[in-house]
Amino acid sequence: MIRHSERTRERLLQAAFCEVHRSGFQSASIDSILAATNVTKGALYYHFKSKEALGYAVVEEKIAKLTRERWLRPMQGEGNAIDILIGVVRRIPASPQDVRAGCPLLLLSQEMSPLDEKFRKRLERIFLDWQEGIATLLRKGKSQGTVRRDLNPAEAASFLVATVEGYGTLAKNAQDAKVWKAGIRNIVGWLRSLRPAGQLRAGRLA
């Protein structure tokens, strides 16, 4: 029997991510992660020294990664800043399952930020990188003339993140993808209002 150390760790991480996303961190059960992976407790505690450490790894290696792939990477590309943001927002998974499960970042922030400073710091890092990425893109858009001159990029970035997370909450509570999609339309509408006056689309005047 060959050993797959790294693979075992990754499987545990993935199962832990699902479990935490479902139940939150405090109520996430080590035993059910074990059951989902057919890994034993000894193996888990060989790879992670505690439940906390496993939770931190989920945040750093799973949730942060998701944010980078969904937001930061697409925002690196060339093109009209507003168009890019609209595209990213529209590409957020909107299936019933995704909407019902909600954003793991949101869940863990609500649950853990006041309780565990190390958890909070790791989540905050993600939020800050996220906002900074948006702000950078908006600044670039301003310099290219595709974003209104009077816009405060940092404020707009936090506003975008807040509305996305806010609608995420409403949709998760409603357990209804339609609520999410209506939210996206409103967010897109707001994003369009960030274009310079009279500029309806990139490179085209009204």
Q: Which of 30, 66, 94, 188 binds DNA (CB under 7 A)?
A: 30
Report how many residues bind DNA under the rule CB under 7 A: 23
**Could you write out the DSSP letters of every residue in the chain?**
----HHHHHHHHHHHHHHHHHHH-STT--HHHHHHHHT--HHHHHHH-SSHHHHHHHIIIIIIHHHHIIIIITGGGSSS-HHHHHHHHHHTS--SHHHHHH--HHHHHHHHHTTT-HHHHHHHHHHHHHHHHHHHHHHHHHHHHTSS-TT--HHHHHHHHHHHHHHHHHHHHHHT-HHHHHHHHHHHHHHHHTTSPTT--BTTB--
Q: Any contact of residue 17 with a copy of itself (CB under 8 A)?
A: no
Minimal distance in Å, beta carbon 194 to a copy of itself? 13
Q: Which of a copy of itself, DNA, none does residue 47 bind to, with CB < 5 to 8 Å depending on kind?
A: DNA
- Per CB under 8 A, residues contacting a copy of itself are 22-24, 26-27, 100-102, 106-107, 109-111, 113-115, 120, 123-124, 127, 155, 158-159, 161-167, 169-170, 172-175, 179, 182-183, 186
- Which residues are at the interface with DNA (CB under 7 A)? 1-5, 8-9, 28-32, 39-43, 45-47, 50-52
